Amino acid sequence: MAALPVLALLLLLLAAWGGPGAAAQKRKEMVLSEKVSQLMEWASKRSVIRMNGDKFRRLVKAPPRNYSVIVMFTALQPHRQCVVCKQADEEYQILANSWRYSSAFTNKIFFAMVDFDEGSDVFQMLNMNSAPTFINFPAKGKPKRGDTYELQVRGFAAEQLARWVADRTDVNIRVIRPPNYAGPLMLGLLLAVIGGLVYLRGSNLDFLYNKTGWAFAALCFVLAMTSGQMWNHIRGPPYAHKNPHTGQVNYIHGSSQAQFVAETHIVLLFNGGVTLGMVLLHEAATSDMDVGKRKIMCIAGIGLVVLFFSWLLSVFRSKYHGYPYSFLMS
């Protein structure tokens, strides 16, 4: 019987020692449950949760957190004139909707957005000076180097973003795009034009054997492919990049590992100029025209080749830093 008071005293001491820790753990679980419930409620209404500074600090930065948050930092207000931000937002919405309405949707990952005009303090806190930027805030710890998406290299296509999300969070998202009828309509229009031509020409199908027409079509295809159009289709890069501080627009990417859509158009134009110059030189040497016209064609051809090749070389030098050669312009 004498051991009973001692046992009771030990139980009281153990309860006193473990009480605060247990209470703290319970409070932590309650806070986490409230956070997840709040995010799930917002995600049920909108796939991409818009956040200001307070929401970001409370739900993304502050512990506890057992979920990952993909945040797009952007500047969508019209006065910011960020065309790339609008294009990236469309792809980001497709990715978030694909996750939100998939059968695999859970509270393991959420998609959020911080607009500069709604959360400039967040941009300052993270020392961020460009938009759009995608960052993964993992469930445990702080973002690492790989948690910042390489937009300039990989582009902002929803499929590329989904691969990056899978790499950082182990969550695989099957991107489902809204139906796009532009392709079938263009194909139908092309078939209608071809059918109309065949009908109008009747039995006279000599135009199908026109070498000049086929050569021109083949040349257009080659110019499109060598300028990087297929790379654009796969990677989905931005059209150009505008510095949010200086307002300067860059149409040529400064790295040899990436490009802008505008850059492919420029390269296509330059390659087309060189090709036209070569065609003129060939015609000047082989045609039956009088000597005066052939001289004019020769001079024009040389001028086109020299000018556009010099521009092509300058673009090459701007992307492959350290390349020592130039012609007419640097």
- 221-250 confidence digits (pLDDT tens): 888 888 887 777 766 677 777 766 677 788
For CA atoms 104, 106, 109, 111, the dihedral sign is positive
Q: Is 60 exceeded by the pLDDT of residue 143?
A: yes
| Tens-place pLDDT, residues 289-320 | 888 888 898 999 999 999 999 988 888 888 87
Mean pLDDT on 169-180: 84
- Residue in 108, 173, 165, 113 with CA at minimum distance from that of residue 139: 108
Q: What predicted TM-score, i.e. pTM, was given to this entire model?
A: 0.56
Percent of the chain with pLDDT over 70: 85
Identify whether the C-beta of residue 92 lies closer than 8 Å to the C-beta of residue 156.
yes
Q: Is 60 exceeded by the pLDDT of residue 13?
A: no
| Tens-place pLDDT, residues 184-202 | 777 788 888 877 766 766 6
Q: Residue 1: pLDDT band by 50, 70, 90 thresholds?
A: very low
Angle at 231 between CA 229 and CA 235, to 5 degrees: 125
- Residue in 223, 242, 225 with CA at minimum distance from that of residue 233: 225
Highest mean pLDDT among 24-28, 155-159, 227-231: 155-159
Query: Where do runs of H (alpha helix) occur along the chain?
Result: 3-45, 53-56, 83-100, 120-125, 151-154, 158-169, 182-201, 211-226, 229-235, 261-286, 291-319
Give Cα separations from 48 to 51, 92, 95, 197, 234 (angstroms).
Answer: 9, 8, 9, 49, 25
Sequence-distant (≥ 6) Cβ neighbours of residue 42 within 8 angstroms: 49
